[in-house]
Amino acid sequence: MSLRPWTCHGKTNQDLVDNLFKAGIIKSQSVKEAFSRVDRKNYSGEPSNSYEDAPQPIGSGQTISAPHMHAYALEEILPTLVSISGTIEEKKRFGSTSYVGDELKILDVGCGSGYLTAVFGRLVDQRGPIKPLSKGRVWGIEVVDELVHKSYQNVNTQDRDLMENRTISISKGDGWTGLPGEGPFHAIHVGAAASIIPTNLMMQLYPEGGLMVIPVGENESVQTLYSVERRRENDVFDKNDFKIKALLGVRYVPLIRPQQP
Ligand code: SAH
């Protein structure tokens, strides 16, 4: 896959989104609409450069990822959400007794500024573009206290309806542990590079096709973005239940291993 990253700068949020679309990084109307509905300026640490296709500092030594990486990850996840939302509807219609969530569930690990969490929220909120089930919930977790606060404040100020209607929840949490009480998740996005794919997150994927997008690699110059699809229900971890695919070379901040108290 040849991305044309770093070239999609815009003068306005819509201009940035349009340029990502023209470059073929945003491919679908659903993702385009979701990005159009969240203004990156409200989340980036450098409001004067908000519409550059580049990462920006958000405090605590962390960065908001470049727009082309966010767009790429969302496009990778979208087909899963669309196909699973159809499955949920069909299962409900035919009265299936196997696990049927009544909403799409998404986990955003390392929510940082809250920007991508808000874009996910717009993808699955009541007015969202995914049919037939334009309804879902997004959990953002973040390990750095100041950023838990910042991401909560940002979403609560800039996209408040998503908090009020409980589309988005943000809390302190560790990506190595995930959020076992809220899963299984139909999609998991990890915004920081893990040394190995966390088993806990794999086991929190929805067993019939849940998908995770995660950067992996210890060294910033040798990281790969992977997709991990869970294909079977199984109480114990078995790597054969997962389809793991390398997508492209990337550069992310590390997924921290927090100190145990
Ligand atoms: N996706 C966000 C931030 C990406 S930067 C955005 O675009 O704004 C990666 C984020 O992961 C940082 O905020 C960092 O604090 C967080 N992080 C690092 N290790 C983590 C861990 N173990 N659990 C949860 N969050 C973590």
- The pick from 72, 109, 216 for probing ligand 1's pocket by mutation, whose C-beta has the most ligand atoms within 8 angstroms, reads 109
Interhelix angle 67-93/29-36, rounded to 10 degrees, is: 120
| Residue 199 near residue 169, CB atoms below 8 Å | no
Band (259; pLDDT cuts 50, 70, 90):
confident
Ligand 1 site, residue 56, Cβ cutoff 6 A: no
User: What distance in Å separates the CA atoms of residue 138 and residue 108, rounded to the nearest whole number?
Assistant: 7
Q: Which residue has the higher pLDDT, 94 or 230?
A: 230
- Is position 96 annotated as part of the catalytic site? no
Distances (CA, A) of 219 to 61, 238, 245, 246, 255: 17, 27, 20, 16, 12
pLDDT above 50: residue 2:
no
Ligand 1 site, residue 138, Cβ cutoff 6 A: no
User: What distance in Å separates the CA atoms of residue 189 and residue 194, rounded to the nearest whole number?
Assistant: 12
Band (125; pLDDT cuts 50, 70, 90):
confident
For ligand 1, atom 7, the nearest C-alpha belongs to: 64
pLDDT above 80: residue 240:
yes
- The pick from 40, 256, 259, 260 for probing ligand 1's pocket by mutation, whose C-beta has the most ligand atoms within 8 angstroms, reads 256
| Residue 79 near residue 124, CB atoms below 8 Å | no
At 55-112, the pLDDT tens digits run: 999 999 999 999 999 999 999 999 999 888 877 777 777 776 555 556 899 999 999 9
Look up the pTM and report it.
0.94
At 155-182, the pLDDT tens digits run: 999 999 999 999 999 999 999 999 999 9
User: What distance in Å separates the CA atoms of residue 194 and residue 121, rounded to the nearest whole number?
Assistant: 24
Q: What residues have CB less than 8 Å from 164, skipping those under 6 apart? A: none
Which atom number of ligand 1 is nearest to the Cα of residue 256?
Answer: 19
At 23-41, the pLDDT tens digits run: 999 999 989 999 999 999 9
Angle among Cα 74, 33, 228 to the nearest 5 degrees reads 10
The residue assigned the tokens 């003068």 is 11
Residue 55: cis peptide before it, omega within 30 degrees of 0: no
At 178-212, the pLDDT tens digits run: 999 999 999 999 999 999 999 999 999 999 899 99
